[in-house]
A and B are shown apart, each in its own frame.
Chain A
Amino acid sequence: DQQVKQNSPSLSVQEGRISILNCDYTNSMFDYFLWYKKYPAEGPTFLISISSIKDKNEDGRFTVFLNKSAKHLSLHIVPSQPGDSAVYFCAASGAGNMLTFGGGTRLMVKP
């Protein structure tokens, strides 16, 4: 049973426009959420996170929104750049330090 789901395996966006990546979770015990970016032949790199006590966290072009009632979070990238093309994973943590990852969404930003 997948506790963290990214239902869109891929997303294509024009450079300069907004990219919105979505993630749903089922475990109500999750209280901390993270987004990772992964380039080919590299390990995932931490991008941005949000605690369950917040509904928004912003870092430059990246904003993460959390809707606890819907068990849904999203990552907004504005404006999107070709260098943002990568696979994005959302992850969630409850008690302890384990992360549960979603299946990833491949973002392609076209020049």
Chain B
Amino acid sequence: DAGVIQSPRHEVTEMGQEVTLRCKPISGHDYLFWYRQTMMRGLELLIYFNNNVPIDDSGMPEDRFSAKMPNASFSTLKIQPSEPRDSAVYFCASSGQGPHSSYEQYFGPGTRLTVT
């Protein structure tokens, strides 16, 4: 398996523009997580899905952020409109079933977002 795939790897956009980040989880994994990493807040969970259904979105910072998982192999995180303070590295991670295997999350390489 190629692991968790994220695109794009880098995104530079202007304030006010819409940004869409994409993720393909590991095949067979039924949990998908979106994280954001910043110097100030570290690695924080934004939202996670189980079997394509959003379970907890309490980490989503505000209504400008939205996430979807239309099928088991694809998820998007959208920011509209984007602001400079959204600049961060966004990671997608997935995990599988089992007593503890669902805790062992596999991360993608991340998308570095810069909003100017």
* Residue B25 interfacial (CB < 8 Å): no
The answer to whether A49 and B42 touch across the interface, beta carbons within 8 angstroms, is no
In the assembled complex, the Cα of A32 lies from the Cα of B45 at a distance in Å of: 17
* CB-CB under 8 A for A98 and B48, given A41-B109, A103-B42: yes
* Residue A101 interfacial (CB < 8 Å): yes
The answer to whether B91 and A97 touch across the interface, beta carbons within 8 angstroms, is no
The answer to whether B107 and A44 touch across the interface, beta carbons within 8 angstroms, is yes
Q: Tell me the dominant secondary structure on chain B's binding face.
A: strand
How many chain-A residues does the 8 Å CB contact rule pick out? 22
The answer to whether A97 and B107 touch across the interface, beta carbons within 8 angstroms, is no
Encode contact with B along A44-64: 1 for CB under 8 Å, 0 otherwise: 111001010000000000000
A41 cross-chain contacts in B, Cβ below 8 A? 109-110
Size category of the B interface is 20 to 34
Report the number of A-B residue pairs with Cβ-Cβ less than 8 Å.
53
* CB-CB under 8 A for A46 and B31, given A98-B48, A98-B56: no
Interface centre among A41, A89, A98, A103 (most CB of B within 10 A): A98
* Residue A99 interfacial (CB < 8 Å): yes
The answer to whether B104 and A97 touch across the interface, beta carbons within 8 angstroms, is no
In the assembled complex, the Cα of A100 lies from the Cα of B50 at a distance in Å of: 17
B4 cross-chain contacts in A, Cβ below 8 A? 43
In the assembled complex, the Cα of A44 lies from the Cα of B95 at a distance in Å of: 13
B31 cross-chain contacts in A, Cβ below 8 A? 97
Residues of A participating in the B interface, judged by any CB pair closer than 8 Å: 32, 34, 36, 41-46, 49, 51, 89, 93, 96-104
Residues of B participating in the A interface, judged by any CB pair closer than 8 Å: 4, 31, 33, 42-45, 48, 50, 55-56, 91, 93, 95, 100, 102-110
